[in-house]
Structure 1
Amino acid sequence: MIARLAGLLAAAVIGLAAAPSVAQTCGRDDPPCETPLGTYRVALPDGDGPFPAVIFLHGAGGTGRGALGMTGTIKAFTDRGYAVLAPDGLPWRDDREGGIWSFRNDIMHGPGRDEAAFFAEIVADAAQTHAIDPDAVILAGFSAGAFMVSYLACDTPDAFSAYAPVSGGFWRPHPASCAGPVRLFQTHGWKDSTVPLEGRVLRNGQFVQGDIFEGLALFRAANGCEQPNPSGTRTTGDFQRRYWTCTKDSALEMALFPGGHGVPAGWADMMLDWYEALPVRALPIR
Structure 2
Amino acid sequence: MSRSGVLATALIGGIVSLWGGAGHAGCDGSTDPCEISSGEYHISLPENPQQQPVPVVVFLHGYGGSGAGTMKNTRMVEALKSRGYAVIAPNATLRRNGNRSWVFDPGWEGRDEPAFLREVMADASDRFGVSQQDTILAGFSAGAFMVNYLACAHPDDFAAYAPVAGGFWRPQPESCAGPVRLFHAHGWGDKTVPLEGRYLGDKQFQQGDIYAGLELWRQTNGCDTHAPNKTWQDQNNLRRRWDCGEGADIEFMLFPGGHTVPKGWSDVMLDWFEAGM
TM-score by length of 2: 0.87
Q: Is the 8 A contact 1:54 1:139 kept in 2?
A: yes
Q: Is the 8 A contact 1:28 1:69 kept in 2?
A: no
Q: How big is the shift at 1:235?
A: 2.5
Q: Specify the alignment match of 1:50 in structure 2.
A: 53
Which residue of the other structure, out of 207, 217, 220, is the alignment partner of 1:219?
217
Q: Is the 8 A contact 2:170 2:206 kept in 1?
A: yes
Q: How big is the shift at 1:99?
A: 0.8
Q: Specify the alignment match of 1:101 in structure 2.
A: 102
Which letter maps to 1:146? A
TM-score by length of 1: 0.84
Q: Specify the alignment match of 2:130 in structure 1.
A: 132
Task: Summarize deviations over 1:206-256 as a string: whole Å, max 9, x none.
Answer: 010001000000000011112111111123232211011113321101000
Q: Is the 8 A contact 2:105 2:149 kept in 1?
A: no
Report the Cα distance in structure 1 between the residues aligned to 2:76 and 2:29, rounded to whole angstroms.
14
Which letter maps to 2:102? W
Q: Is the 8 A contact 1:61 1:92 kept in 2?
A: no
Which letter maps to 1:272? L
Unmatched 5+ stretches in structure 1: 1-23, 280-286
Report the Cα distance in structure 2 between the residues aligned to 1:172 and 1:194, rounded to whole angstroms.
16
Task: Summarize deviations over 1:26-47 as a string: whole Å, max 9, x none.
Answer: 1797111011100000111013
Q: Specify the alignment match of 2:274 in structure 1.
A: 276
Which letter maps to 2:42? R
Q: Specify the alignment match of 1:142 in structure 2.
A: 140
Q: Is the 8 A contact 2:67 2:91 kept in 1?
A: yes
Task: Summarize deviations over 1:136-177 as a string: whole Å, max 9, x none.
Answer: 110000000000000011111111000000000000001011
Which letter maps to 2:36? T
Q: Specify the alignment match of 1:234 in structure 2.
A: 232
Q: How big is the shift at 1:105?
A: 5.8
Report the Cα distance in structure 2 between the residues aligned to 1:144 and 1:28, rounded to whole angstroms.
28
Which letter maps to 1:56? F
SS at match of 2:202: helix
Q: Specify the alignment match of 2:255 in structure 1.
A: 257
Q: How big is the shift at 1:183?
A: 0.3
Report the Cα distance in structure 2 between the residues aligned to 1:27 and 1:239, rounded to whole angstroms.
37
Which letter maps to 1:177? S
Unmatched 5+ stretches in structure 2: 1-24
Q: How big is the shift at 1:179?
A: 2.0
Report the Cα distance in structure 2 between the residues aligned to 1:268 and 1:28, rounded to whole angstroms.
24
Report the Cα distance in structure 2 between the residues aligned to 1:121 and 1:47, rounded to whole angstroms.
26
Which letter maps to 1:149? V
Q: Specify the alignment match of 2:67 in structure 1.
A: 64
SS at match of 2:257: coil
Q: Specify the alignment match of 2:22 in structure 1.
A: none
Report the Cα distance in structure 1 between the residues aligned to 2:186 and 2:103, rounded to whole angstroms.
22
Q: Specify the alignment match of 1:90 in structure 2.
A: 93
Which letter maps to 1:165? P
Report the Cα distance in structure 2 between the residues aligned to 1:104 and 1:179, rounded to whole angstroms.
16
Q: CA RMSD in A?
A: 1.6
Report the Cα distance in structure 1 between the residues aligned to 2:163 and 2:28, rounded to whole angstroms.
23
The count of aligned residue pairs is 251
Please tell me whether residue 79 in structure 1 is matched to residue 82 in structure 2. yes
Which letter maps to 2:41? Y
State percent identity of aligned pairs. 52
Report the Cα distance in structure 2 between the residues aligned to 1:128 and 1:86, rounded to whole angstroms.
17
